[in-house]
Structure 1
């Protein structure tokens, strides 16, 4: 009988004790931990190095530009759907849940979840499901009941996949150089994409672009 290979994960949390406990509690027959990280920058590096199926991602992390887990998910947006994110946090605040989901996470658990529950959630997220506790799912429905409609904007259809990637980074405040490094393209290519985006959306500058993206829940 062929055995299903374990789902590969990277564990991201700034508390070493929690990382150690979580790794010990995960079902070793179903989950294989490839690496771990304690801050935004090391998390992005570890995810790009290991390319896990799922990242177990704490919401509040030091480093980077101060965006925590949401910043990590957003910075690795280009790896989707190969890499999926499952947030796990002590916080069950609506703003934390919605923020990291907007950035690309496929699910959200609180740290009261058992090792078996986290293992099940990892497998479900790896398979493409979205996983939330009932209370947290309510936050997501409340937030995205209108946002989902807003994202289905005819103007988005005007942009290529690469233009969307560049647009999100620039709208979040990345410089052209930072966006180029993030996407592994030249600064000139970023400038060209931004020019095309502004022309297609009939916007004048990056400040208008940030406002446009924010109104559509794209940041």
Structure 2
């Protein structure tokens, strides 16, 4: 009795500087069985980047046509280039039974939630605002004014926590990864998901 369980769309976001990229990199090193979402962009490929591996590279016209056809779970424009999460690619992975991890900013995550409310939305937070500011300062790449503005935005983004299913504190990267893996395991074991899985399998066995 077998029936393929659909994968989970896991959306990870949080305020700037909280360490989303670091946590995702650590999850990769653990060989967690995720498929990482590949974005579509209109910027030119950098040396060594491969279409369909690093990004799906499109022209501005192609991207705008995709917007018109509602082919993105979310999209935005940064520094004169478009970036977006392709709905078809994500759905193909999910239908194949693969979990898809999407690391994204808060506004993009809210776009995804409108179109894909069944996703699992995880909000990564710092241990404190003071710690978040220290992390940004320690980069040594931004002026005091920029840091102040980032903290103002971070406070606004923290208020968006109410739109998420889970909140994970990134006090230590390894502990944050443990918590995220535990959330995914629990989601796969939910009654609603398991019942659907076995009802389908029983029907196919008749």
TM-score of Structure 1 vs Structure 2, range by shorter chain = 0.3 to 0.5
Scaled by the length of structure 1, the TM-score of the pair is 0.34
Select the structure of larger CA radius of gyration: 2
**Between structures 1 and 2, the one with greater strand share:** 2
Higher relative contact order (CA 8 A, sep 6+): 2
Which structure carries more helix by proportion? Answer: 1
- Give the TM-score taking structure 2 as reference length: 0.36
